[in-house]
């Protein structure tokens, strides 16, 4: 099938590559010529495991192309996926300017019946706005639905950054929202044909009305964010009452009605989805006269959780951190990505620098993006920027630091050389925002260990636990 993907970000690139992998003829278009140049030269502008290899195969087979030619992209695809960004507006609502611009171009250059697929995460009612814009453009061209019909479909993505290729190729569900009319029936047949390869073993496609499909995406991310904030809120109480949040997690997760997924306490969620989707859904509720009280709390808990590690550091080392150096392991918001959007490391680093500390940060893949983003964050604080150093290895970050702070749970941080860690630090102190280690074991090695919602084991003067 001939498919067009509008937008070459995380969702667009993964969608395009995976659809090309199974044999479709895919045209990816983007208004950013830098991205297209990178892609045409064999590169990938984002880090996503397995994506570069898949693009190399599909490019070599001639099943995927990249261009800034909007007219050619619209003429190419019978199915037009809109996979552009929907950044949060000032009030938290999703900014739809890029979605509607894509829709306008489709209407402007349409050369036949088009299935227009909202793949971007968009609020309830967006499909109707897309439909209105396309109809305006067709009317301006003097064209009617008879010769240039179309149907707007909602097909939200459920991709985890760091595992997006696997998620697309082995989906647990495919949600398609579609109108129950003649154009919708035509669109349904095309979408069914497109997704047949993913339904070989059993039917994974869930058909529903368009608004329900739009709602489903937000509801899914809101539920996952709620689980995270719930555990983070409990972890702070566990700190106060002396409970171990890891024991609590195992105790409640063993109940099949609850399960273990997204029940890990930490230093807050980030990324391109959860923060903005929680805000957007809450804003949608406000616009319709409702208050989603649970989601308001979820966002507030997450905002405060990003300060928990800094509060522990201040309690241990004092408010004035001048002359102190901190090693930071992990800068991306999660492992297996270079995405720095809403990353907890940004908040933590800014707070340490504001207190006069020096920071040496390391991340396995996000160094370039971290350098760009942190430079923007600290643009008006040049003196603080001088005390931020991004280094090439995790060991280099440790040397001579007063303490280690773990922010992202990369695999290489899970079993480090603790002997080197202890000897490289001025003082063997670790603040762990992802609960990677066991407090008792750390104490036995003479390391002063502070985790999230886990008991702190005091060391005696000889560096052993009491």
What pLDDT digit, counting tens, does each position of 434-455 carry?
A: 999 999 999 999 999 999 999 9
Q: Would you state the pLDDT for residue 462?
A: 54
Q: Would you state the pLDDT for residue 90?
A: 80
Whether residue 145 has pLDDT greater than 80: no
Give the range with max mean pLDDT: 146-160, 200-214, 309-323.
309-323
Question: Edge-to-edge strands of the sheet including 64-67?
Answer: 64-67, 25-29, 2-6, 79-82, 114-118, 150-154, 174-177, 205-208
Residue intervals in the chain for CATH 1.10.1040.10: 218-304
**What residues are designated binding site?**
30, 35, 86, 121, 158-161, 217, 262-266, 270, 276, 334, 341
Strand ranges (E), 333-466: 358-362, 388-390, 403-406, 429-432, 448-450
pLDDT in tens, 362-403: 999 999 999 999 999 999 999 999 999 999 999 999 999 999
Q: Which CATH architecture has domain 218-304?
A: Orthogonal Bundle (1.10)
- Residue 302 makes CB contacts below 8 A (sequence gap 6+) with 225, 228, 229, 232, 268, 269, 275, 278
Q: Whole-angstrom Cα distance, residue 336 to residue 188?
A: 35
Whether residue 107 has pLDDT greater than 90: yes
Compute the C-alpha angle 90/91/93, nearest 5°.
100
Determine which one of 18, 28, 267, 273 is catalytic.
273
Whether residue 93 has pLDDT greater than 50: yes
- Residue 17 makes CB contacts below 8 A (sequence gap 6+) with 26, 51, 54, 55, 58, 64, 165
Whether residue 161 has pLDDT greater than 70: yes
- Residue 165 makes CB contacts below 8 A (sequence gap 6+) with 14, 17, 18, 48, 49, 50, 51, 54
CA 152 to chain centre: 26
Q: Would you state the pLDDT for residue 147?
A: 59
What is the average pLDDT score of the chain?
95
Q: Whole-angstrom Cα distance, residue 130 to residue 117?
A: 10
Domain 306-450, CATH: 3.40.50.720
Q: Would you state the pLDDT for residue 143?
A: 84
Whether residue 6 has pLDDT greater than 80: yes
In angstroms, what is the C-alpha Rg of the chain? 25
Q: Would you state the pLDDT for residue 466?
A: 45
Q: Which of 121-135, 136-150, 314-328 has the lowest mean pLDDT?
A: 136-150
In Å, what is the CA distance from 317 to each residue of 81, 116, 310, 314? Answer: 52, 56, 10, 5
Q: Identify which has the larger pLDDT, 458 or 359.
A: 359
- In the structure, what pLDDT confidence band is assigned to residue 136 with cuts at 50, 70 and 90? very high
Strand ranges (E), 256-323: none
Contact 70, 63 (CB under 8 A): no
- In the structure, what pLDDT confidence band is assigned to residue 91 with cuts at 50, 70 and 90? confident
pLDDT in tens, 226-285: 999 999 999 999 999 999 999 999 999 999 999 999 999 999 999 988 999 999 999 999
Residue intervals in the chain for CATH 3.40.50.720: 2-208, 306-450
DSSP classification of residue 159: P
Instruction: Reply yes or no on whether 267 is catalytic.
Output: no
Q: Whole-angstrom Cα distance, residue 298 to residue 276?
A: 12
Coil/strand/helix, residue 4? strand
Whether residue 461 has pLDDT greater than 60: no
**pTM for the full model?**
0.91
**Residue 366: closest CA among 400, 343, 396:** 343
Please provide residue 108's backbone torsions phi and psi, each rounded to the nearest 5 degrees. Answer: -70, -35
Whether residue 419 has pLDDT greater than 60: yes
User: Which CATH code of 3.40.50.720, 3.30.930.10, 3.40.462.40, 3.90.950.20 fits the domain covering 2-208?
Assistant: 3.40.50.720
- Averaged pLDDT, 107-125: 95
Q: Would you state the pLDDT for residue 411?
A: 96
Q: Identify which has the larger pLDDT, 149 or 146.
A: 149
Q: Would you state the pLDDT for residue 111?
A: 92
pLDDT in tens, 325-368: 999 999 999 999 999 999 999 999 999 999 999 999 999 999 99
- Averaged pLDDT, 314-334: 97
């Amino acid at each position: 099938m001939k498919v067009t993907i509008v937008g070459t970000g995380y969702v667009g690139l993964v969608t395009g590559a995976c659809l090309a992998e199974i044999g479709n003829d895919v045209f990816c278009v983007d208004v950013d010529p830098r991205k297209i140049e990178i892609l045409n030269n064999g590169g990938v502008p984002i880090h996503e495991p397995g994506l570069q290899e898949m693009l190399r195969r599909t490019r070599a087979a001639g099943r995927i192309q990249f261009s800034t030619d909007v007219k050619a992209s619209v003429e190419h695809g019978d199915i037009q996926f809109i996979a552009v960004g929907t950044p949060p507006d000032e009030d938290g609502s999703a900014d739809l300017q890029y979605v509607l611009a894509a829709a306008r171009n489709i209407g402007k250059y349409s050369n036949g019946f088009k299935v227009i697929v909202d793949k971007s995460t968009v609020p309830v009612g967006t499909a109707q706005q897309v439909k209105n814009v396309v109809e305006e453009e067709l009317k301006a061209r003097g064209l009617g639905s008879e010769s240039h019909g179309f149907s707007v479909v909602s097909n939200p993505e459920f991709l985890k950054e760091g595992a997006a290729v696997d998620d697309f190729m082995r989906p647990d569900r495919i949600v398609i929202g579609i109108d129950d009319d003649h154009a919708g029936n035509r669109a349904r047949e095309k979408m069914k044909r497109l997704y047949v390869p993913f339904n070989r073993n059993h039917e994974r496609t869930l058909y529903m009305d368009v608004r329900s499909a739009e709602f489903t995406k937000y509801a899914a991310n809101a539920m996952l964010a709620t689980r995270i904030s719930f555990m983070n809120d409990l972890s702070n109480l566990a700190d106060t009452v002396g409970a171990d949040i890891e024991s609590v997690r195992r105790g409640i997760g063993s109940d099949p009605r609850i399960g273990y997924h997204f029940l890990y306490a930490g230093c807050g969620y980030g990324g391109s989805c959860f923060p903005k989707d929680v805000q957007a859904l809450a804003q949608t509720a406000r616009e319709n006269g409702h208050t989603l009280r649970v989601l308001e709390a979820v966002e507030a808990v997450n905002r405060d959780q990003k300060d928990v590690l800094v509060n522990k550091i201040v309690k241990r080392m004092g408010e004035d951190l001048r002359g102190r150096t901190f090693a930071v392991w992990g800068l991306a918001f999660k492992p297996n990505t270079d995405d720095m959007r809403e990353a907890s490391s940004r908040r933590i680093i800014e707070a340490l620098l504001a207190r006069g500390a020096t920071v040496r940060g390391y991340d396995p893949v996000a160094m370039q993006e971290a350098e760009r983003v942190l430079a923007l964050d600290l643009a008006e604080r040049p003196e603080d920027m001088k005390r931020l150093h991004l280094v090439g290895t995790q060991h280099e970050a440790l040397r001579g630091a007063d303490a280690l702070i773990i922010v992202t749970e990369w695999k290489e941080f899970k079993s480090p050389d603790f002997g080197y860690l202890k000897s490289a630090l001025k003082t063997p102190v670790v603040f762990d925002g992802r609960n990677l280690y066991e407090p008792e074991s750390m104490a036995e090695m003479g390391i002063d260990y502070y985790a999230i919602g886990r008991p702190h084991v005091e060391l005696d003067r000889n560096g052993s636990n009491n």
